[in-house]
Structure 1
Amino acid sequence: MHMIVEVGAQLDPDVSWPEGAALSMFVGEPVQLMIFLSHPHALEVEAVSQAPTQFAWVDSEHVGVLAYRLGPILGWSEASFTPHMFDAEDGLPGVDLDPRVRIVLVDRDTNIVKALHTVRWPEPFASTVRESVVRMRETPYSAFAYEHALAALHRRYPTAEDLVVDRADAHCTAKPA
């Protein structure tokens, strides 16, 4: 999901994005968290670039979950990740030593980028995510194991906030990049 985006730009109009978030991580590029919402509210647009930007990482063997909280008003949300969902030509899944995160909010009805913000993960948090991604990358992929792990997390921790409070392996407040 390598995309160079700017506020006001339209992503491919022929692609229909599902509601929610998509996460990509490739060595040599910032981590990219793309959030697709139907007609995002002005508070959601504003929250993308408002401090604090908080993250939590859950490593569940066959799936990683990045929980995120943007700004002081919005609650926790989440995006699941496995390095096996990307083609080899996309690049090597991983987290750079300069752990920047590009957050992109897209109006999924128009495919127009509404907000863009880049932050930096503290190194202890980035190291936890990096090690998790490398381990998952080296583990043979099983769609069943991925779906089972994700379903088990959601049964035990039904909300993103439950995941953050009761299950996260690492937490951080990101710094401006």
Structure 2
Amino acid sequence: MRLPEGAGLTMVTGAPVELLIALSRPHPLEVEAVTAAPTQFGWVDAGAAALLVYRLGPVLPWAQVAFHPQLMAADAGVAGVDGWRGVRIVLVDRDSRVVQAVHQVRWPDTFTTVVRKSVERMREEPYDRLAHRHALAALHRRYPTPDDLVIDRVDARCTAVPGTAR
């Protein structure tokens, strides 16, 4: 069974943040980009939804993945961000399910704090599917590309550092 094309984001207390990117036959440049510096991130809190924008390496463009803690699998654990555990980026060939690249990075404390507060706020509020869809649609209408989000809308932005230890 093939994985869906695109990115998924998991944030669980007690575990690293995981950005899983599933591509059909990833190009060697995409594989290399996962571990190439710089690894950049931005966070957008739109109230009923959030977006993580990311740029892997110097060649690939900005990309984005939507997030809401209430949309995680019920057995995943409590949604949250432990900054000291870092961020694991995994690139998988969606057809073969073979992992092509894995990279561990760490967000700076200031970025982690913004993301943590946003996730905690969303986790504590009742999930409203319509409001979630509306928030994402409004963002995409106003900021049609990830570049637009980075330039005009992110609540926080950072360049991650390799590893998880402080």
Q: Establish whether TM, by shorter chain, passes 0.5.
A: yes
Q: What displacement does 1:90 show? A: 1.7
Equivalent residues in 2 for 1:24-173 (5 A)? Answer: 24-173=10-159
Bigger proportion of residues as helix: 2
3-state DSSP of counterpart to 2:132: helix
Deviation at 1:176, TM superposition (A): 0.5
| SS in structure 1 of the partner of residue 35 of structure 2 | coil
Give the gaps of 5 or more residues in structure 2.
none
The one-character-per-residue Cα deviations of 1:27-72 (angstroms, maximum 9, x if unpaired) are 0000000001111100000000000000000000011100000001
Q: How many residues align?
A: 163
- SS, match of residue 153 in structure 1: helix
Task: Say which SS state the counterpart of residue 162 (structure 1) adopts.
Answer: helix
Whether the 8 Å contact between 2:83 and 2:106 is mirrored in structure 1 is no
Aligned-partner Cα distance in 1 for 2:155–2:53: 11
Identity %: 58
Aligned-pair CA distance for 1:111: 1.0
* CA distance in 2: counterparts of 1:88 and 1:73, whole angstroms: 36
Whole-Å Cα distance in 2 between the matches of residues 87 and 112 of structure 1? 22
The answer to whether the Cα contact below 8 Å between 1:99 and 1:121 also exists between their aligned partners in 2 is: no
Other structure's SS at 1:39 match = coil
Structure 2 CA distance, aligned partners of 1:84 and 1:78? 19
* C-alpha distance in 1 between matches for 2:60 and 2:85: 24
**C-alpha displacement of 1:88:** 4.1
Compute the RMSD of aligned alpha carbons: 0.9
Counterpart Cα distance in 1 of 2:43 and 2:74: 24
The TM-score with structure 2 as length reference comes to: 0.95
TM-score by length of 1: 0.90
The CA distance in 2 between the partners of 1:58 and 1:156, in whole Å, is 13
1:53/1:70 contact within 8 Å kept: yes
Alpha-carbon distance in structure 2 between the residues aligned to 1:35 and 1:86: 16
